[in-house]
Amino acid sequence: MSDTKKYLVGMFDDDDVLVHAVKDVRNAGYEITDAFTPFPVHGLEHAMGLEPTRIHTAGFFFGATGFTVAFSMIMFINKFNYPTDFGGKPDFGFLAYVPIIFEHTVLFSAIGMTVSFYYLCKLWPGKKPKIIDERTTDHLFALTFELDSSKDAKYIDSVSELLKKEGAIEVYQKEV
């Protein structure tokens, strides 16, 4: 996975300018590859037309799994594997199991979602990141446009010009 790609990068120094620029660039018909920001910019995912994440749906199913595991395991243990008779009380007193079932639901959901998050974002300890510009974790915002073989000099010129008009403080090409 060491193949590098070439990008046209537009740097912005304000989040509001960035969101505005994203809208205009997309309206002009150019496809934005990605944006890099130092903090979650509200409205950016909307402006970029990103699909809403489904990580919370995954969380629900992980939670449901946790519920089922805890419920069925306690059921198996107390009802079938080792039923104990405490003065004729029922083998399966559901209310007393609510705390553990609840904790298990939360535990499965949280772990499942967090692991999914790192899996989907392809982040792991020791990963070698492809950093477009080091300043994007600090105070600047970057818009990137992938430059594959179909993009000619005319495309680069017109995108660069549009970015500058939208308030980009720098526009440059970079291969990472």
Partner 1 sequence: MASHFESPLREPLIFGNKTYKQITIDIVKPTTGKVQPKWLFWTLVSAAFAGLFVFCITWEVCFGIGTWGANKTVGWAWDITNFVWWIGIGHAGTLISAILLLFRQKWRTGVNRAAEAMTIFAVICAGQFPIFHMGRVWDAFFIFPYPNTRGPLWVNFTSPLLWDVFAISTYFTVSLLFWYTGLVPDFGTVRDQSKTSGRWKFYNFLSFGWVGSAKHWERWESLSLILAGLSTPLVLSVHTIVSFDFATSIVPGWHTTIMPPYFVAGAIFSGFAMVLTLMLVARHVMNLQEYITLAHIESMNKVMLLTGTMVGIAYLTELFTAWYSGNIYESYAFANRAFGPYWWAYWAMMFCNLVSPQVFWFRKLRRNIAVTFVMSILINIGMWFERFVIIVISLHRDYLPSSWVYYSPTWVEIGIFVGTIGLFMTLFLLFCRFFPAIAIAEVKAILKVSGNQYRQKQLEEVKNQEVYKNTSVEAGTWD
Under the rule (CB under 8 A), what is the footprint of partner 1?
A: 15-16, 34-42, 44-45, 48, 50, 52-53, 55-56, 59, 73-74, 77-78, 81-82, 93, 96-97, 99-100, 102-104, 106-107, 109-111, 113-114, 117-118, 120-121, 123-132, 134-139
Tokens of 157: 């010129």
Q: Which helix (H) or strand (E) holds 39?
A: none
Nearest CB to partner 1, comparing residues 79 and 165: 79
Which residue in 46, 14, 22 sits closest to 159, CA to CA?
Answer: 22
Q: Are 12 and 44 in contact (CB under 8 A)?
A: no
d(CA 118, CA 126): 13
* Shortest distance (Å) from residue 153 CB to partner 1: 27
Nearest CB to partner 1, comparing residues 48 and 156: 48
* Shortest distance (Å) from residue 145 CB to partner 1: 14
Q: Which helix (H) or strand (E) holds 147?
A: none
Nearest CB to partner 1, comparing residues 73 and 169: 73
Nearest CB to partner 1, comparing residues 99 and 154: 99
* Shortest distance (Å) from residue 154 CB to partner 1: 27
Write the DSSP string, 42-88. TTHHHHTTPPPP-HHHHHHHHHHHHHHHHHHHHHIIIIIIS---STT
Nearest CB to partner 1, comparing residues 30 and 97: 97
Tokens of 73: 């395991």
Taking the CA atoms of residue 90, residue 95, residue 101 and residue 102 in that order, the dihedral angle to the nearest 10 degrees is: 180
* Shortest distance (Å) from residue 149 CB to partner 1: 24
* Shortest distance (Å) from residue 47 CB to partner 1: 9
